[in-house]
């Protein structure tokens, strides 16, 4: 791993890259602010604590919250981190600053268009809305600008990936026999996964949803758009997570005072994510008709295998952090925890994010299991799960990482470490309240994706406590989370407005305890891993997609409002009931 020592700061060494990263972070943080505000409105509205919008507008807010946080904030931030990681670890600038600005510009334009379409939902006279939720598949339809914006955004990410691959290619020509630096290896494997997985959403948006929203085609095959969405919709989870993993593997051990335990193990983890991230999306469709149970089972098996890289990460990162603590004088079985740098918000935020990710992983196992999924499917349990994963493991890591990265790319000292520490603690506590209550409410059967989760003449029951307590927890959690975001943005804003510093942070990253020379060279064979990943996708998706197209009225649905398999099922039931009734009538008569 290439290193940069203090006094040779990133912003001085790579000023063009620093400008790109700052622009990416700026858009990410603006999205974070708006998305978090929408989250507060949702939390207070759903729990009926305080309502400032009509329930009909709830879905506009929900879509804005999902798209701005789960797509715009996370992906812009990760693009900034990846740009930093590639330049830093290859120790070279991007091949063309103009090309880098091109993907920033394209992504920004796409994000603005999608956001305008979403916000148009607040102004009915405008004739523009995109109340299709984060899961933007048919039959819900958005204004074409929403889909066009998303398509531009995705193409922008592809160009960003190309930027990093070009840097790698140039580096490789000068270093033909060297191992790929770890951070660049992580970026490249993540991007290969992203290229494979975004094919699904690109096909869905470009060939079906845009023509449909423009009125060029009459109908679409809803199950096909849904399956293509989830083909991308679960791998995007790993697109969020892998930058967090990059920070956990390469930055967190340094902040703890130590070194990464094993570079080879980190490479294995990222290869496993590349292979297994994409052929899993059908696990979101256990209750969908038109997909054979066997393929649902394959998706479940692949998903369970994904626990392996996460568990490897947990052990490797904790071992690295423990090593750091012992370097700082920590002793004993658990007393070493006290030697960690808890004053540092970058460390504390990442550590707490990792701890909550463990809980998110456990609830994810419930989601992934075919049989037990039926218990929590489409209940509030599911948002509880992803508020632990993307909402905490990823978002909190990104905010904590900012406390270390923003000074590097701005050349300014962090405005306030105590405020940063309070902010990450507040996020942790707020998310404990929110996600705990969501999981419990899901077990009680409370649905997700609705402004009015209560039913007339029906009471949800909890084995312990009451629904009222859960609602209070969600509202309290949402409020703490919003306040945490306000503190974060305040701290980052004042940091970027502060005076320049000669040494804003110690940006040096130490070598791993076990370096890349200990890992087989085949791990760096990205072509081979890409091929295997593609084969796994073909095995998992070819037959289900063929069945969906064949039974669902073709590629464009053939005017059918629902997949044909459902109609066939209804017909079968009707035929059976009619014949049974006729038989009974014959006996009676």
Partner 1 sequence: MKLTKAQALVLIAISVPVAIELRTVAGFFNVELPLIAVAVIEFLFLALLFVLYGLYGEGSESAA
Query: Which positions are annotated as active-site residues?
Result: 234, 238, 385-387, 448-449
Contacts of 106 (CB under 8 A, 6+ apart): 152, 153, 155, 156, 159
Contacts of 311 (CB under 8 A, 6+ apart): none
2, 308, 422, 534: residue in contact with partner 1 (rule CB under 8 A): 422
CA 216/CA 323 separation, integer angstroms: 61
Reduced to 3 states, what is the DSSP secondary structure of residue 250? helix
Binding mask 473-492 for partner 1 (x = CB under 8 A): x-------------------
268, 425, 483, 489: residue in contact with partner 1 (rule CB under 8 A): 425
Site for partner 1 contains 7 (CB under 8 A): no
List the end-to-end C-alpha distance of the chain, in Å, as a whole number: 87
Concatenated DSSP letters for 91-156?
TS--S-HHHHHHHHHHHHHHHHHHHHHHHGGG-GGG-------SS--TTS---HHHHHHHHHHHHH
Shortest CB 240 distance to partner 1, Å:
23
CB nearer to partner 1: give 80 or 477: 477
Residue holding tokens 């290439």? 2
CB nearer to partner 1: give 198 or 348: 348
Angle at CA of residue 282, ends 137 and 267, nearest 5°? 110
Task: Give the interface size with partner 1 as a residue count (CB under 8 A).
Answer: 20
Would you call the peptide bond into 139 cis, given omega within 30 degrees of 0 as the criterion? yes
CB nearer to partner 1: give 68 or 444: 444
Of 157-165, 464-472, 498-506, 546-554, the segment contacting partner 1 by CB under 8 A is 464-472
CA 15/CA 428 separation, integer angstroms: 34
- 182-203 vs 144-174: helix crossing angle, rounded to 10: 150
Shortest CB 426 distance to partner 1, Å:
9
Of 25-33, 80-88, 127-135, 427-435, the segment contacting partner 1 by CB under 8 A is 427-435
Shortest CB 35 distance to partner 1, Å:
23
Structure-derived torsion over alpha carbons of residues 262, 263, 264, 267, reported in degrees to the nearest 10? 130
Work out the widest C-alpha separation in the chain, in whole angstroms. 98
Site for partner 1 contains 421 (CB under 8 A): yes
Contacts of 542 (CB under 8 A, 6+ apart): none
- Of 78, 131, 8, 43, residue with least CA distance to 431: 43
Site for partner 1 contains 49 (CB under 8 A): no
CB nearer to partner 1: give 298 or 352: 352
| 523 in Cβ contact with 268 (< 8 Å) | yes
Shortest CB 414 distance to partner 1, Å:
15
Reduced to 3 states, what is the DSSP secondary structure of residue 447? strand
Of 68-76, 96-104, 270-278, 432-440, the segment contacting partner 1 by CB under 8 A is 432-440
Site for partner 1 contains 410 (CB under 8 A): no
Shortest CB 359 distance to partner 1, Å:
8
Site for partner 1 contains 404 (CB under 8 A): no
CB nearer to partner 1: give 187 or 424: 424
| 4 in Cβ contact with 10 (< 8 Å) | yes
CB nearer to partner 1: give 161 or 361: 361
Site for partner 1 contains 432 (CB under 8 A): yes
Q: Which two tokens stand for residue 278?
A: 């994409």
Shortest CB 41 distance to partner 1, Å:
24
- Of 152, 40, 172, 139, residue with least CA distance to 106: 152
141, 416, 436, 501: residue in contact with partner 1 (rule CB under 8 A): 436
CB nearer to partner 1: give 291 or 476: 476
Site for partner 1 contains 146 (CB under 8 A): no
159, 166, 370, 429: residue in contact with partner 1 (rule CB under 8 A): 429
CB nearer to partner 1: give 321 or 421: 421
| 267 in Cβ contact with 185 (< 8 Å) | yes
Strands (DSSP E) along 312-440, which ranges? Answer: none
Q: Which two tokens stand for residue 224?
A: 């096909």
Angle at CA of residue 434, ends 430 and 439, nearest 5°? 145
245, 428, 488, 541: residue in contact with partner 1 (rule CB under 8 A): 428
Shortest CB 464 distance to partner 1, Å:
5
CA 453/CA 447 separation, integer angstroms: 6
Q: Which two tokens stand for residue 550?
A: 């064949």
465, 518, 558, 561: residue in contact with partner 1 (rule CB under 8 A): 465
CB nearer to partner 1: give 112 or 429: 429
Shortest CB 343 distance to partner 1, Å:
4
Binding mask 329-348 for partner 1 (x = CB under 8 A): ------x--xx--xx----x
Judged by CB under 8 A, the chain residues 348 through 377 that form the site for partner 1 are: 348, 352
CB nearer to partner 1: give 464 or 522: 464
Of 4-12, 316-324, 405-413, 425-433, the segment contacting partner 1 by CB under 8 A is 425-433
Of 197-205, 234-242, 244-252, 463-471, the segment contacting partner 1 by CB under 8 A is 463-471
- Give the CA count within 13 Å in the CB-facing half-sphere of 558: 10
Shortest CB 62 distance to partner 1, Å:
26
Q: Is 558 left (phi over 0), alpha (psi -120 to 50) or beta?
A: left
Shortest CB 453 distance to partner 1, Å:
21
CB nearer to partner 1: give 34 or 358: 358
| 460 in Cβ contact with 445 (< 8 Å) | yes
Binding site for partner 1 (CB under 8 A): 335, 338-339, 342-343, 348, 352, 421-422, 425, 428-429, 432-433, 436, 463-465, 469, 473
């Amino acid at each position: 791993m290439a290193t940069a020592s203090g006094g040779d700061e990133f912003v001085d060494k790579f000023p063009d890259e620093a400008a790109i990263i700052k622009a990416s972070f700026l858009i990410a943080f603006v999205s974070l602010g708006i998305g978090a505000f929408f989250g507060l409105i949702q939390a207070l509205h759903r729990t009926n604590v305080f309502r400032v919008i009509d329930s009909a507008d709830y879905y506009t807010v929900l879509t804005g919250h999902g798209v701005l946080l789960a797509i715009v904030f996370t992906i812009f931030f990760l693009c900034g981190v990846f740009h930093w990681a590639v330049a830093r670890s290859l120790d070279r600038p991007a091949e063309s600053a103009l090309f880098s600005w091109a993907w920033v510009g394209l992504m920004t334009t796409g994000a603005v268009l999608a956001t305008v379409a979403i916000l148009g939902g607040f102004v009915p006279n405008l004739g523009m809305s995109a109340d299709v939720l984060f899961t933007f598949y048919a039959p819900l339809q958005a204004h074409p600008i929403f889909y066009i914006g998303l398509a531009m955004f995705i193409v922008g990410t592809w160009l960003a990936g190309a930027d990093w691959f070009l840097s790698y290619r140039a580096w490789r020509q000068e270093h033909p026999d060297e191992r790929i630096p770890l951070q660049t290896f992580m970026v490249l494997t993540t991007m290969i996964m992203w290229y494979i997985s975004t094919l699904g959403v690109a096909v869905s948006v470009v060939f079906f949803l845009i023509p449909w929203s423009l009125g060029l085609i009459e109908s679409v095959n809803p199950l096909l758009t849904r399956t293509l969405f989830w083909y991308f919709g679960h791998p995007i989870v790993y697109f969020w997570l892998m930058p967090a993993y990059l920070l956990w593997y390469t930055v967190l051990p340094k902040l703890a005072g130590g070194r990464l335990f094993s570079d080879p193990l980190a490479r294995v983890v990222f290869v496993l994510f590349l292979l297994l991230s994409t052929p899993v999306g059908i696990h979101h469709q256990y209750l969908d008709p038109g997909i054979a149970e066997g393929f649902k089972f394959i998706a479940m098996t692949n998903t369970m295998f994904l626990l392996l890289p996460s568990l490897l990460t947990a052990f490797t990162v904790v071992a690295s952090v423990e090593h750091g603590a012992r370097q700082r004088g920590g002793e004993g079985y658990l007393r070493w925890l006290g030697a960690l740098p808890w004053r540092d918000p970058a460390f504390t935020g990442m550590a707490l994010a990792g701890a909550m990710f463990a809980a998110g992983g456990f609830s994810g196992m419930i989601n992934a299991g075919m049989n037990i999924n039926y218990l929590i499917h489409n209940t509030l349990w599911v948002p509880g799960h992803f508020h632990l994963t993307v909402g905490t493991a990823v978002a909190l890591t990104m905010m904590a990482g900012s406390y270390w990265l923003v000074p590097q790319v701005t050349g300014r000292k962090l405005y306030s470490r105590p405020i940063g520490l309070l902010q990450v603690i507040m996020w942790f506590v707020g998310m404990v309240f929110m996600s705990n209550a969501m999981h419990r409410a899901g077990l009680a059967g409370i649905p997700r994706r609705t402004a009015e989760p209560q039913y007339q003449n029906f009471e949800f029951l909890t084995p312990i406590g009451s629904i009222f307590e859960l609602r209070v927890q969600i509202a309290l959690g949402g409020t703490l989370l919003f306040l945490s975001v306000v503190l974060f943005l305040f701290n980052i804003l004042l940091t970027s407005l502060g005076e320049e510093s000669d040494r804003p942070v110690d940006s040096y990253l130490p070598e791993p305890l076990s370096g890349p020379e200990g890992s087989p060279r085949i791990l760096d064979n990205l072509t081979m891993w890409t091929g295997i990943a593609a084969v796994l996708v073909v095995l998992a998706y070819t037959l289900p997609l063929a069945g969906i197209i064949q039974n669902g009225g073709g590629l464009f649905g053939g005017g059918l409002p629902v997949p044909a398999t459902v109609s066939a099922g209804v017909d079968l039931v009707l035929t059976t009931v009619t014949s049974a009734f006729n038989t009974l009538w014959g006996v009676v008569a």
